[in-house]
Chain A
């Protein structure tokens, strides 16, 4: 299932098969393609506002689905401001705190823009913010790569239930969920369609 992708965009311990059975797995769409597009457009504008036109900004997507999201944000920023913001990916697998809870997983790719992260404003991009543990791992991974001037966080969905003192600077949609539910983000680059689904618990928060 998509809940156990390498680089874990979803939180560490969602049940792979939900107690609700087949009916609970159908899920309900909470964002469609247009809504995702609008949310990313707004985030791109917010990044430009908060960083004075994207000055010294680097977008780093967290694999798997953070990477296409970062690319889409970079494309919008180029569209709005005519500025090419460097874009890359940052795999956090080796820095996760839950490695020993599962068999060793395949690594995602870390691909830094040539100019590096020193002195830059790094915007981490991920699909879902949940426990905050992935972001904690990303902050650690970043420390080993250089010393950014500032680090910000952009997520498509914030579903709550934080386990660490971490918050997002840019949020596509705040989505109150129950921990028993699974939030599934699908992007055309990976899943052939754009949608955000909530699955499990009969679809009711």
Chain B
């Protein structure tokens, strides 16, 4: 395992499987009376959030606390960032406080990568602009593997042959980018279904297929991942009206009926009910939205354990054991 988790592209199939299998072993912890392990006692994890977030920040906080790490939460509001402090100066402050890991969410693509050059601890990307959100992709892959192959029976397996359709605002979605990279590394066949205006320019170079039609993709999907329409990042008109978008790309009960019987419906949250997903679909038995949140804590525990649980100097340790 590397020292940082910046991009899903950094993860080989073997790395990804190690994370998923570690998470599989940690999943039972949620059902135990004492949901805590002593593994990261004395380590400090800083949650550095420049953008609003509910589930990701709480998820990382819960994950770190269940591993007994100390957690410092930092949000840009009410901090010196509001007074104009730069990311680098903030990073150096955290460094001086002895952070072993920094979990960063930032509005600028590449912020996590920059931060990794400034701090000694591990950097975990919790979403940088429209670039990547690797732990979301990992928890999505974990959810798919458990749902489609059975919890516990899936250890060591990838997602070979599983067909995933990612629908909607791919252009602004770091979740989509990380998922395409990770899912294809795990052997899944990914199709993006979106209006042409909401697809990035370089999408031809991504390891996935592209379709402008949702209806034709549904019958051949094992999992459908609905993306939120990110109006806050939109600087132009990408579709004529929300109503028209919803009619063509929203998942309602009629469309859900076209899915194979075993297929699951995913959404990274937060949902715009009635836009990309109908309320009855979001609350149906096929929806894994709540499961994804629970799995998020587990997968983040696995990531923090694998980044921080071992020695800080793997090369030196290899020498000693030889």
Contact = CB atoms under 8 A, between A and B. Distances in A.
Q: Do A and B bind each other?
A: yes
B305 A95 contact: no
Interface in A69-118: 91, 94-95, 99-110
A17 B322 contact: yes
B312 to A, nearest CB: 7
B321 A4 contact: yes
B255 interface: no
Given A91-B25, A110-B28, A99 B310 contact: yes
B227 interface: no
Interface string B12-37: 00000010011001101000111011
Interface in B102-148: none
Contacts, number: 65
**Secondary structure type dominating chain A contacts:** loop
The range of chain A's interface size is 20 to 34
Contacts of B28: 110
Nearest to B22: A107
B108 to A, nearest CB: 30
Interface in A142-172: 144-146
Contacts of A102: 310-311, 314, 317, 321
Contact of A145 (B1, B32, B312, B320): B32
21 contacts: A16-B322, A94-B37, A95-B38, A99-B39, A100-B311, A101-B320, A102-B311, A102-B317, A103-B1, A103-B310, A103-B317, A104-B1, A104-B307, A104-B308, A106-B18, A109-B25, A110-B25, A140-B38, A144-B36, A145-B34, A146-B33
Interface of B: 1, 18, 21-22, 25-26, 28, 32-34, 36-39, 67, 305-312, 314, 317-318, 320-322
